[in-house]
Amino acid sequence: MENTDLAQQVQAWLIQDPDPVTREKLQQLFVQSQTNSAAQAQLFDCFNGSLQFGTAGLRGELGPGPNRMNRVTVLKAAAGLGEYLLAQGKAGSPVVIGYDARHNSSVFASDSAQVLAGLGFKPLVFGTVVPTPVLAFAIRELNACAGIMVTASHNPASDNGYKVYLGDGRQIVPPSDLEIADCIAQVIDVRSLTLSDELSTVPESIIEDYVAATANLVTTGPVSRTEIESVQCVYTAMHGVGWQTFAAVMHASGFRVPEVVVAQRDPDPDFPTVAFPNPEEAGALDLAFACAQENDANLIVANDPDADRLAIALPTRSGQWTMLRGDQVGVLLGWWMIERSRLAGTPLAGAFANSIVSSTLLKDVAQGAGLDYQHTLTGFKWVSRVPDLVFGYEEALGYCVDPKNVSDKDGISAAVMFLELFAHLLGQGKTVWSVLDHIALEYGLHETAQVSVRIADVSRVKAVMDKLRSDSLAEFGSYPIAKFVDLAIGDDLPPTDGVLIELAPHGDVVWSRVIIRPSGTEPKIKCYLEAVSNQKDLTAAQASVDAWLGELARIAEPLLTGEPDATF
């Protein structure tokens, strides 16, 4: 990009930007860029293309320019979405808009509502911050043609995002996302948009209806009130918007009031106690561990900042607190969906589903109960579309236990369903660990692990993936490859950027798999590992799969960084 061209783009942006904060920041950055190479690089990046309308919408760093999240970017996105909806014959229909507590979320929600009102739609905006699952619930409850959730989920404090749903309450998938992106690209100058204040507030009863519907999962279940009341959990909202809704659902379900990590309870867009507001990140649950120890709690429940994800932590057999992996929570919830139906005398019918990067164990559990099973591409926009879905999950802490009400991952309903499971086990004198052992003995010990590398230069992602595809396919490290699949070509799923490698048996490990793909929401390349042992001595089986997963992780890490000497 030539300096003259960049200067023209900066001036064109300044003219149409309605936000004095980003205008001033851009002006300062432009002046600094004349003499400072770091400022020049930053300015270039702000205008180096546009944020791509991809995984359910937009997500990126806050700041000026088309490659950042800001009011101009959001105004264009709202206008493009509106034009797409008009082309679909949805003129005059309601559109529900929710937002979390991140920087500028409420402003982005308001801007979107004014654009859509100007196009003749009936925007319904929540009057307060809400969890993403409540927005997904409201779309169908209010018979809306679309929904917008302003959130960057578990991304760093410097980010924000824009998640789009259509009238079925599910996140958008191709070709809708591409068609909306094309409409957005047609918006050149936001000053040409017609804005209107003809908008309404979402009725407060919608949140109450969500709470009642979610609590109903437990109150109509097979676990007694006495068992429910025996659970003492610790809860953290990770500085997000989950606490009030979660507390209301807990009360309505009959659970005891949880101990709460006070320092992380209330919304705070700066996320002061964590480096990354993601329960999966090292150190994120340290305050919750301390709170659980102080209060002699049974378990820890953690939501991410927009409460669509759930993390569970428990004391191990030795008493050390540890977070369950997403795959462990997923298979436990799947097992419980089957078991609670058996206890209630109402056999479960329908399908289980999880994403391709999640454990294959759910397939065995589902088919063992006579249920259909389907694996999908990564992302809940795909999991939620499985026909006759009754339970779905993906390993990144996303679970759908109530698809009739929320066709998306929901960290609140999943939490109360897990608490119901836990209450039942307490009443039976059993533990989560004993259930996992039972499942392992029946279907083999499935263990999963993950390696991920943050990529500062996003352009490196393509180079890394291209190298993986071009290297020798005979061995992974020095171990024989049984099967190599370029997921961009496709196997039994639509094409996606990634590679799948199945390894030949190794000792007690009868099957193992490596999947490498770029993250859809963060500047990361991720590697998903799974190993299976049928050894009935679970201690020996655990040692075998742990050692093998460690070896696979050792081989995988240099591949993710694109080191020159890293080969299969």
The domain limits of the chain are 3-203, 219-441, 445-561
Alpha helices in 70-164 (DSSP H): 71-87, 105-118, 132-141
3-state helix, strand, coil split of the chain in percent (to 5) is 40, 20, 40
Return the pLDDT at 472: 56
Q: Taking residues 253-268, what's their average pLDDT?
A: 97
DSSP code, position 262:
G
Nearest to 93 by CA among 121, 117, 52: 121
Is 445-561 in the same CATH topology as 3-203? no
- Cα dihedral sign for 114, 115, 121, 123? negative
- Cα dihedral sign for 317, 319, 322, 324? positive
What secondary structure does DSSP assign to 28-43, as a single string?
HHHHHHTT-HHHHHHH
Catalytic residue status for 153 = yes
Q: How many CB atoms lie within 10 A of CB 368?
A: 13
List 153, 355, 407, 512, catalytic entry: 153
pLDDT band at 564 (very low <50, low <70, confident <90, very high): low
Residue with tokens 């209301």: 248
Whether the CB-CB separation of 85 and 146 falls below 8 Å is answered with yes
Q: Which CATH class is domain 3-203?
A: alpha beta
Return the pLDDT at 473: 64
Return the pLDDT at 568: 52
Return the pLDDT at 422: 98
Q: Which CATH architecture has domain 445-561?
A: 2-Layer Sandwich (3.30)
Q: Which CATH architecture has domain 219-441?
A: 3-Layer(aba) Sandwich (3.40)
| pLDDT tens-digit readout, 188-197 | 999 999 999 9
Return the pLDDT at 466: 87
At 361, list the tokens: 């164990």
Residue with tokens 């999966």: 280
Lay out the sheet containing 233-236: strands in order across: 259-260, 233-236, 299-303, 310-315, 321-323
| pLDDT tens-digit readout, 62-85 | 999 999 999 999 999 999 999 999
Nearest to 93 by CA among 67, 68, 119: 119
Return the pLDDT at 565: 54
Return the pLDDT at 475: 85
Cα–Cα dist 99/89, whole Å: 26
HSE, side-chain direction, 13 A CA sphere, residue 28: 8
The model carries a pTM of 0.95
Q: Taking residues 515-543, what's their average pLDDT?
A: 92
Return the pLDDT at 426: 97
Question: To the nearest whole number, what is the mean pLDDT of the chain?
Answer: 94
Return the pLDDT at 223: 97
Nearest to 305 by CA among 411, 226, 407, 439: 411
pLDDT surpasses 90 at 271: yes
At 517, list the tokens: 């793909």
Whether the CB-CB separation of 243 and 237 falls below 8 Å is answered with yes
| pLDDT tens-digit readout, 9-63 | 999 999 999 999 999 999 999 999 999 999 999 999 999 999 988 766 899 999 9
Q: Taking residues 105-119, what's their average pLDDT?
A: 98
pLDDT surpasses 80 at 459: no
pLDDT band at 454 (very low <50, low <70, confident <90, very high): confident
Whether the CB-CB separation of 351 and 386 falls below 8 Å is answered with yes
